[in-house]
A and B are shown apart, each in its own frame.
Chain A
């Protein structure tokens, strides 16, 4: 029987700081932890006393990667509290910038953070000389996604023009037409990406868990929907606290989320599992080419699900632009009536369901805030995966076990800087 200790300090190619700790004595697991050691930033407390129209710009700074996601969710929470229904144009523009961020985050993840593992490299940098065409394609696609965000919001990281009840600047039709052309021109790059990823050998590992995501009868849910579980049933977003139990785990600095089972998964794979039928045609075609069949229980397939979603988002972006152009774009009055109350917003951001909840007083100042971030929902599930995969690897060299665990953590695309509250996780 084997003794094994692995100590990976600050897992690389993830957003934020996390450690993996494995301690096995005589073949028995004594310790198998994903510790999140990011410094707490205390956004929920920092929001107290700030104005209603600052919440989105403050919470955007939780995470540079999902800045649009935090901004959108924040705006929706404020709008829910004030009882506002933004215009159709606002919703379409938000969905467009949301698609831009989804593509940018997913491309960054599967090309820059995940792909080097499959080429046996420590980063994308050596790939630039060994596989220049791959890296140039990755950069072109990432730039396209960034540009979608910039056209709508001014910039991707901390978008400027997205405000409660609308936009401070509406894109010009000429900008949208130009963007549409760039999107159409990107199909060959995406096809080449599908070809590349269908050749990678994804580790063969399955563990069934509870898959949670928003769902929506009208479309593949990102911006709007009700909370759905792969175990059955839906509940409205405003009832999120009935579904998700958040707790602070002793000897861990993590707020730890659970639903029906001990742990659950959010993110691209949960969404594809729950909402496969609503993917647009090209995305379904890619899923078939990539061997992604639902329900899929292999967490290493998250990256593949992200690629399928990227294709969906590109197709959807073209449709949205067509719809905006045919309806005609106009300046809108974004003024709002402030009122005291509480509102919840939830969106499917790249890594899963994000919740913001604010309570405002009569002046529109925030008196309480609660934020639940996708990675915080996934950590318990990652740790359950560890427990299930490690016993199958015990006869392998230590380096291989360590790499597999790192790849598993990376597959979830954890955004540790985002786990706001934040979160030192230690599961004992």
Chain B
């Protein structure tokens, strides 16, 4: 019997699910190997019987907690799909504002209709078995993790810095172009795609496990950034990470 898979979403941009739909070359093979039983963005049928749940998005309100717990109970393996789910990602920017004020900025005197709480990654609510990082996830990484899980192997998630991949790609370091970069402390796996396209790494994949944040903060400060600016850079995607909050 083919393993049953569900794809679920909370607060996010649906870009990670869309990446799965954008596996144009591999989608038909993938559909041959698994049975997708729940994928609201793409299909009408729904079932609660699945072995692997890929979950996109950040938890941002009380009502979502129960739904996530239900998914956790039903799935044998729960995979956080993308940085919103894995580390909180861009949604954590909200946490640096007074939540009352945030609601009023957007909804004015009707703010009371909208409940919200501090954004948090999935693992702050339920145990998460594996995470695919990135905003959005790289296609290759999704395929690698999906394959490993289907073969009941432990997926190999890189734990070295983006700089390693950047050097392999033979990029000119953006520091040499006068920009600043979070590559030295950010978890690799994206093949350093941003420096490859001439931009800096903004740290969308979160930190490597033992990042030397302090020394990197020093590097950024030497480049003329203030403490505030350094923190702001780390907070773009990493606002829910320990040491950056």
Q: Are A39 and B64 in contact (CB under 8 A)?
A: yes
Contact string, B199-219, partner A, CB cutoff 8 A, digits 1/0?
A: 100100000000000000000
Scan A29-45; emit 1 where CB is below 8 A from any B CB, else 0.
00000000011111011
A13/B136 in contact, CB under 8 A: no
Hey, which chain A residues are within 8 Å of B89, CB to CB? Answer: 61
Whether A112 is near chain B, meaning CB under 8 Å from some CB there, is yes
Interface residues on B, range: 35 or more
Give the chain B neighbours of A112 by CB distance below 8 A.
Answer: 21, 42
Residue interface bits A201-243, CB-to-B below 8 A is 1, else 0 = 0000000000000000000000000000000000000000000
Asked whether any CB of chain A lies closer than 8 Å to the CB of B44, the reply is: yes
For A42, give its contact among B10, B13, B94, B193 (CB under 8 Å): B94
Q: Once the chains are docked, how many angstroms separate the CA of A143 from the CA of B21?
A: 10
Within 8 A of B (CB), among A298-329: none
Is B152 interfacial (CB 8 A cutoff)? Answer: no
Tell whether B105 is near chain A: CB-to-CB under 8 Å: yes
Q: With a CB–CB cut-off of 8 A, which chain B residues contact A153? A: 197
| Interface-facing stretch out of B25-33, B70-78, B157-165, B181-189 | B25-33
Of A45, A108, A140, A250, most B-chain CB atoms within 10 Å: A45
Chain A residue with minimal CB distance to B44?
Answer: A122
Kindly state whether residue A411 has any CB partner on chain B within 8 Å: no
Q: Point out the residues of chain A lying under 8 angstroms from B232, CB to CB.
A: 49-51
Contact B15 A12 (CB under 8 A): no
For A12, A163, A424, the residue with the greatest tally of chain B CB atoms inside 10 Å of its CB is A12
Q: Which residues of A contact B116 (CB under 8 A)?
A: 39-40, 42
Chain B, range 18-46, C-beta contacts under 8 Å to A: 18-19, 21-22, 24-25, 27-28, 31, 36, 39-46
Q: Tell me if A154 counts as interface (CB < 8 A to partner B).
A: yes
B residues near A (Cβ < 8 Å) are: 10-19, 21-22, 24-25, 27-28, 31, 36, 39-46, 60-61, 64, 89-91, 93-94, 96-97, 101-103, 105-108, 110, 113-114, 116, 135-136, 193-194, 196-199, 202, 232, 236
Can you offer 22 A-B residue contacts whose CB atoms are under 8 A? A12-B43, A13-B42, A38-B11, A39-B10, A39-B61, A44-B105, A64-B18, A64-B19, A65-B14, A123-B43, A124-B42, A125-B36, A135-B28, A139-B27, A155-B193, A157-B15, A158-B136, A160-B194, A160-B197, A255-B107, A421-B106, A421-B107
